[in-house]
DNA sequence: AACTCGGGGTT
DNA sequence: AACCCAGAGTT
């Protein structure tokens, strides 16, 4: 076995993580769920969501039978909601096309929605013990440093080279359990030792062969993404109050916050009273402009101007299924984005708020 | 190849 | 405020 893999496996026995919630068994469903939740999301953030999700939907069958709304509700706050929608689609696909048995070949796994090459490989490794290479943020960091590879890992050229290194470094002549340990060791080393800033090279099992360490380039690698300043967007949120209820609208998918519930959003500068008359067919009275809510996405910044409005006419005028009237406390149990959760809490549920319901 | 999709943690 | 995180899908 290569020194690289062997050193990692030896290191993992003493220093790796062995008690994460999804490490209890080889249930493909449990492993698949964990891998999807962990896409672009840190372990400590995922754990409570994962535990709740497994309690609510302990099997792929129970997930497949659930309504999407229930799935999104459990996902609320975790972000990247297309993951939840794809999870739901895939659960039904596995039930229907694979008789509830998760496919075990990496290629087949990779064809399922929401599962790319790295996630498919992780599932193949941890659920089925197959010898496949992963390439996540941890692995990219370790390999760019160990082999001294410069260039932003998002570029195709660099990414292809990293995949090649990942495959070449696999423990080919392994026996039972080695590939799982090796794969977990890569991620644990990336999390605990080969960190983005201030890596603990003196504690690293790969230090004697690490090119970046030899050449004193550890803090130069991996090459950071060239960033553009984020465009600033603004929007008005209409908080329409009718007695104890507010109006929520289900947003279209695909798109930002697809299928999640939000107060109606309009561009700034649009006359609110007129908009409600013409587009919602509701007579309203403007109460107050609530404090601005700033939110940042990967590719733009959104400044939300929440406007509190009182409904004068009957609320029953809106009957489209994409609109609902709901108590703010009930809205928190639905699939709503994080800023909306924050807004509803501080406006309607805080003891300090004059609009507390 | 470039762009779209979130939210939270860290520094 | 910038950067990153067990990336994937679309165009």
- Which residue's C-alpha is at the least distance from the C1' of C7? A39
Distance in Å from C2's C1' to A229's CA comes to 11
User: What does the alpha-carbon distance between residue A340 and residue A343 come to, in Å, rounded to a whole number?
Assistant: 5
User: What does the alpha-carbon distance between residue A215 and residue A198 come to, in Å, rounded to a whole number?
Assistant: 16
* pLDDT at position A219: 92
Q: Which of residues 291-310 of A touch strand B (CB under 7 A)?
A: 295-299
- Which residue's C-alpha is at the least distance from the C1' of B6? A79
Alpha carbon of residue A287 to chain centroid: 36
**What would the two tokens of residue A253 be?**
């998918």
Return the CA Rg of chain A: 24
A254 prior amide bond cis, ω within 30: yes
User: What does the alpha-carbon distance between residue A157 and residue A193 come to, in Å, rounded to a whole number?
Assistant: 27
Region of A255 on the Ramachandran plot (φ > 0 left; ψ -120 to 50 alpha; else beta): left
* pLDDT at position A321: 83
pLDDT tens digits for range A91-143: 999 999 999 999 999 999 999 999 999 999 999 999 999 999 999 999 999 99
- Which residue's C-alpha is at the least distance from the C1' of C9? A114
A136 touches strand C (CB under 7 A): yes
* pLDDT at position A12: 96
* pLDDT at position A134: 97
Residue ranges of domains in chain A, CATH in brackets: 3-220 (1.10.340.30), 232-349 (3.90.79.10)
- With both helix axes pointing from N to C terminus, report the angle between A68-75 and A43-56 in degrees, rounded to the nearest 10: 150
Scanning every strand, the nucleotide with its C1' closest to A157's CA turns out to be B1
pLDDT tens digits for range A134-151: 999 999 999 999 999 999
Query: What is the rounded end-to-end Cα distance, in angstroms, of chain A?
Result: 65
Q: Which residues of chain A have pLDDT under 70?
A: 1, 173-177, 315-317
Scanning every strand, the nucleotide with its C1' closest to A83's CA turns out to be C8
* pLDDT at position A315: 61
């Amino acid at each position: 076995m290569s020194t690289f893999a062997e050193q990692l496996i030896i290191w993992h026995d003493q220093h790796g993580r062995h008690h994460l919630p999804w490490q209890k068994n080889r249930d493909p469903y449990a492993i698949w769920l964990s891998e999807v939740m962990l896409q672009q999301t840190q372990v400590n953030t995922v754990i409570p969501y994962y535990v709740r999700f497994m309690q609510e939907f302990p099997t792929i069958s129970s997930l497949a039978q659930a309504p999407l709304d229930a799935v999104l509700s459990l996902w609320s706050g975790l972000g990247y909601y297309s993951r939840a929608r794809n999870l739901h689609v895939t659960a039904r696909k596995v039930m229907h096309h694979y008789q509830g048995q998760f496919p075990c070949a990496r290629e087949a796994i990779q064809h399922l929605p929401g599962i790319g090459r790295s996630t498919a490989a992780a599932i193949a490794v941890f659920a089925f013990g197959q010898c496949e290479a992963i390439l996540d943020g941890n692995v990219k960091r370790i390999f760019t440093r160990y082999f001294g590879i410069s260039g932003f890992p998002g570029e195709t050229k660099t990414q292809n080279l990293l995949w090649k290194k990942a495959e070449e470094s696999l423990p080919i002549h392994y026996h039972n359990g080695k590939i799982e340990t090796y794969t977990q060791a890569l991620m644990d080393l990336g999390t605990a030792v080969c960190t983005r800033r201030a890596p603990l090279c003196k504690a690293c099992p790969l230090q004697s062969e690490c090119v970046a360490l030899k050449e004193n380039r550890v803090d130069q690698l991996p090459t950071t993404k060239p960033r553009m300043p984020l465009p600033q967007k603004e929007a008005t949120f209409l908080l329409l109050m009718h007695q104890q209820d507010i109006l929520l609208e289900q947003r279209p998918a695909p798109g930002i916050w697809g299928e999640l519930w939000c107060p109606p959003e309009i561009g700034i500068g649009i006359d609110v009273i007129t908009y409600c008359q013409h587009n919602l067919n509701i007579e309203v009275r403007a109460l107050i402009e609530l404090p601005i809510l700033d939110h940042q996405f990967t590719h733009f910044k959104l400044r939300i101007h929440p406007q509190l409005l009182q409904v004068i006419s009957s609320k029953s005028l809106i009957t489209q299924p994409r609109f609902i009237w709901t108590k703010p406390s009930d809205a928190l149990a639905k699939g709503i984005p994080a800023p909306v959760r924050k807004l509803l809490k501080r406006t309607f549920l805080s003891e300090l708020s004059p609009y507390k319901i």
